[in-house]
Amino acid sequence: MRRLPGNRHAAMLELIGILIASSKIAPSRREIRTEIRGGKRNLVQTVESFVQSHASEPLTVADLAAHLKMSLPTFARIYPDLAGETPGCTVRRLKVEAAKRLLLAEGLSVKECALRLGFSSEVHFSRLFKRLEGLPSSDYAGSLSRRYSV
């Protein structure tokens, strides 16, 4: 770039800065795709309702992407920005919430709960439950009844 004499160079740079700052920048591809699919809330709600209705099955991120008719890489890239957690975290969180309901409302054993929610083993389920809830699944119902007993 040819240097302008005197203050003209500084004035030109300032003008370019003002133009850049005031120009509307095009939305990113992620924003466009999200708008096309109905927005943040709709995508996250669709995933959560799918997980809740298929909680008894072993779900993968590929299953979620296929349900949304999205490619796996696109879904895995977009979802965390919208939901604040990875798709795998969403599946685990919702399955543990379902497990809490089963343990309290239906009084199922830990083993029955793990089988009903599609976990590969009782040990895997118990470790996940303890990591997310802070106490063993076998103690969950008992701790709540002790905490809220009159």
Domains in the chain (CATH in brackets) are: 91-147 (1.10.10.60)
pLDDT band at residue 13 under the 50/70/90 scheme:
low
The residue among 123, 120, 118 whose CA lies nearest residue 136 is 123
Q: Reply yes or no on whether the pLDDT at 118 is more than 80.
A: yes
Long-range contact list for 80-84, CB < 8 A, 24+ apart? 81/30, 82/34, 82/40, 82/43, 82/44, 83/44, 83/47
DSSP secondary-structure letter at 85? S
The pLDDT of residue 148 is: 47
Which segment, 7-11, 32-36, 38-42, 53-57, is predicted with the most confidence on average? 53-57
Residue 134 has a pLDDT of 87
Name the band, by pLDDT with cuts 50, 70 and 90, for residue 143: low
Residue 149: predicted pLDDT:
47
With a cut of 90, say whether residue 88 has pLDDT above it: yes
Say how far apart CA 87 and CA 93 lie, in whole Å.
10
Among the residue ranges 17-31, 38-52, 65-79, 117-131, the one predicted with the least confidence is 17-31
| 118: three-class secondary structure by DSSP | coil
In one-letter notation, the amino acid at residue 58 is P
More confident residue, 129 or 7: 129
Q: 135 pLDDT band (50/70/90 cuts)?
A: confident
Q: Supply 30's token pair.
A: 């992620």
Among candidate residues 22, 58, 64, the one with its CA nearest the CA of residue 43: 64
pLDDT score recorded for residue 107: 80
What is the band of 41 on the pLDDT scale with cuts at 50, 70, 90?
A: low
